[in-house]
């Protein structure tokens, strides 16, 4: 189902206000004009005839389609109606003069009638020529659009084939060619096609880097191992470079006001070992990180804004590296971290603004990583930690502010996160719902070092 855009919604709202207002303002004109008609004037019959004529044209259009002859007929009818309306208005302005019977037409009068008839016919012919010129222009534009679409399809196919090349330089060229095509695409549909191809490349199987042997292995064996895995490491480095380039290009386009915003992004199951999505804007569309693996490097969502369509990190695994959501903005829409596994590395939600929409961590497991919610702001959204397991690692809420909305921990299990109870006591009453087993339990005095402490 296609929903109206914000601009269309604004137009609908303005029309809903303007049409009733104009109707109320113009209503007295109708009775005034009706009362000015002379006795015996067949106004009702003329209105019925016009309505029947419009219905007949509509039926012909629906049956035969909007052909050229139908457009010319409609244009003629519109021109005749306009001339008749102007003539009737002039007649009313002149005081509704009566018609005098002319027993005999003089040559001068006949010449005037012929001249005016010729003018009317010429005017109708001009209308027909305008319609024909308009249709010719539309045909030309459609032909240009078909040619543009054909060229896009050819270049899109060539660039997509480059992504399958064995040479990393060719793959990188294909990535940049696709991004350039999307910037000049004839419609948003083609932009989505490019995004789908780039996301599909990220979803392809990703062979991890070859690991080095332990330090106690003899140098000779270590050197043989390195030589054996040199080719594998080179392939890995090349693929990683292409993948990071795709993520960087997507981030660059989402930071700017481009047509890449508001589209669907499917990162389902993607392995992230680095990537920069800072200050990206997700104002609409569906964004999926379901089942993604954050397994190394630094992946940054700092100052990213999730304000439109649904965003899901459901089932994602944070098992290595650093992932930062610092200063991210969750306003509107629905963001899900359901059944996420925080088992390694570090994840920062520091200074995140939860001020609208719905964010769910339901079913997540905090079992081995450092997850930082320090200085986060909970000021109007529904944030759920139901069925969350706090069984290991460190989850820190120091400095968090709870002022509005609802933050629900009622069905959470395990040990209360560090500084959560103190932050809840300092916040507004009724915002944080805690398990009964946590309320009277004293928190350990633990200080968590984070990027905000340096």
The closest of 20, 72, 81 to 49, measured between CA atoms, is: 81
Q: Which two tokens stand for residue 309?
A: 């369509």
**Burial environment of residue 106 by CB neighbours within 10 A (0 to 12, 13 to 18, 19 or more):** exposed
Statement: residue 370 has pLDDT above 70: yes
Residues 6+ apart with CB under 8 A from 81: 50
* d(C-alpha 439, C-alpha 31), whole Å: 74
The closest of 266, 280, 272 to 297, measured between CA atoms, is: 272
Q: What tens digit of pLDDT does each residue of 124-180 get? A: 566 656 666 766 776 676 676 778 788 888 999 999 999 989 899 999 999 999 999
> Residues 336-340: what's their mean pLDDT?
94
The closest of 288, 354, 296 to 325, measured between CA atoms, is: 354
pTM over 0.75, yes/no: no
pLDDT score recorded for residue 446: 42
* d(C-alpha 326, C-alpha 312), whole Å: 18
pLDDT score recorded for residue 95: 60
> Residues 69-92: what's their mean pLDDT?
62
Higher per-residue pLDDT: 266 or 320: 266
* d(C-alpha 361, C-alpha 346), whole Å: 17
Residues 6+ apart with CB under 8 A from 337: 313, 314, 316, 359, 360, 361, 364
* d(C-alpha 424, C-alpha 433), whole Å: 9
Q: Give CA 197 to chain center in angstroms.
A: 18
* d(C-alpha 33, C-alpha 22), whole Å: 17
Statement: residue 397 has pLDDT above 80: yes
Q: What tens digit of pLDDT does each residue of 173-229 get? A: 999 999 999 998 888 999 999 999 999 999 998 865 655 656 666 777 766 767 767
Q: What tens digit of pLDDT does each residue of 85-109 get? A: 666 665 565 565 655 555 565 666 6
Higher per-residue pLDDT: 396 or 17: 396
- Where do the structural domains in the chain lie, given as residue ranges? 110-263, 264-454
Statement: residue 328 has pLDDT above 70: yes
pLDDT score recorded for residue 401: 95
pLDDT score recorded for residue 380: 84
pLDDT score recorded for residue 54: 64
Task: State the chain's mean pLDDT as an integer.
Answer: 79
> Residues 73-90: what's their mean pLDDT?
63
Q: What is the DSSP string of 82-111?
A: HHHHHHHHHHHHTT-PPPPP-SS--HHHHH
pLDDT score recorded for residue 309: 84
Of 188-192, 240-244, 308-312, 361-365, least confident by mean pLDDT is 308-312
Statement: residue 312 has pLDDT above 60: yes
Strands 401-408, 346-348: pairing kind? unpaired
């Amino acid at each position: 189902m296609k929903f109206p855009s914000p601009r269309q919604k604004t137009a609908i709202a303005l029309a809903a206000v303007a049409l009733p207002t104009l109707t109320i303002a113009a209503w007295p004109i109708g009775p005034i004009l009706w009362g000015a008609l002379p006795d015996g004037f067949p106004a009702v019959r003329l209105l019925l005839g016009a309505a029947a004529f419009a219905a007949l044209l509509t039926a012909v259009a629906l049956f035969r389609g909007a052909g050229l002859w139908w457009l010319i007929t409609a244009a003629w009818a519109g021109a005749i109606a306009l001339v008749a309306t102007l003539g009737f208005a002039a007649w009313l302005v002149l005081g509704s003069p009566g018609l005098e019977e002319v027993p005999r037409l003089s040559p001068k009068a006949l010449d005037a009638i012929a001249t005016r008839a010729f003018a009317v016919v010429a005017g109708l012919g001009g209308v027909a020529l305008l319609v024909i010129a308009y249709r010719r222009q539309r045909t030309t534009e459609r032909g240009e659009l078909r040619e543009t679409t054909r060229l896009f399809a050819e270049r899109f196919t060539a660039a997509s084939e480059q992504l399958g090349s064995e040479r990393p330089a060719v793959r990188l060229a294909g990535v940049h060619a696709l991004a350039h095509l999307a910037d000049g695409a004839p419609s948003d549909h083609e932009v989505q096609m490019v995004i789908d191809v780039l996301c599909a490349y990220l979803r392809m199987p990703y062979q991890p880097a070859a690991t080095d042997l332990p330090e106690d292995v003899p140098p000779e064996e270590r050197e043989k191992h390195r030589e054996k895995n040199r080719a594998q490491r080179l392939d890995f480095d090349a693929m990683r470079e292409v993948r990071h380039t795709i993520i960087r290009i997507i981030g660059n386009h989402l930071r700017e006001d481009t047509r890449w915003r508001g589209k669907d992004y499917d990162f389902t199951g993607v392995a992230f070992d680095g990537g920069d999505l800072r200050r990206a804007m997700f104002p609409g569309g569906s964004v999926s990180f379901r089942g993604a693996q954050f397994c190394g490097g630094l992946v940054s969502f700092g100052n990213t804004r999730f304000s439109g369509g649904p965003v899901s990190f459901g089932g994602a695994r944070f098992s290595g590296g650093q992932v930062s959501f610092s200063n991210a903005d969750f306003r509107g829409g629905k963001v899900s971290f359901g059944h996420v596994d925080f088992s390694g590395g570090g994840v920062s939600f520091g200074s995140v603004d939860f001020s609208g929409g719905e964010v769910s961590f339901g079913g997540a497991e905090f079992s081995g990583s450092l997850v930082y919610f320090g200085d986060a702001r909970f000021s109007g959204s529904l944030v759920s930690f139901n069925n969350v397991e706090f069984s290991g690692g460190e989850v820190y809420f120091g400095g968090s502010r709870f002022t509005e909305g609802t933050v629900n921990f009622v069905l959470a299990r395990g040990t209360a996160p560090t500084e959560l109870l103190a932050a809840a006591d300092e916040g507004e009453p009724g915002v944080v719902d805690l398990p009964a087993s946590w309320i009277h339990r004293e928190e350990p005095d633990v200080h968590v070092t984070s990027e905000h402490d340096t």
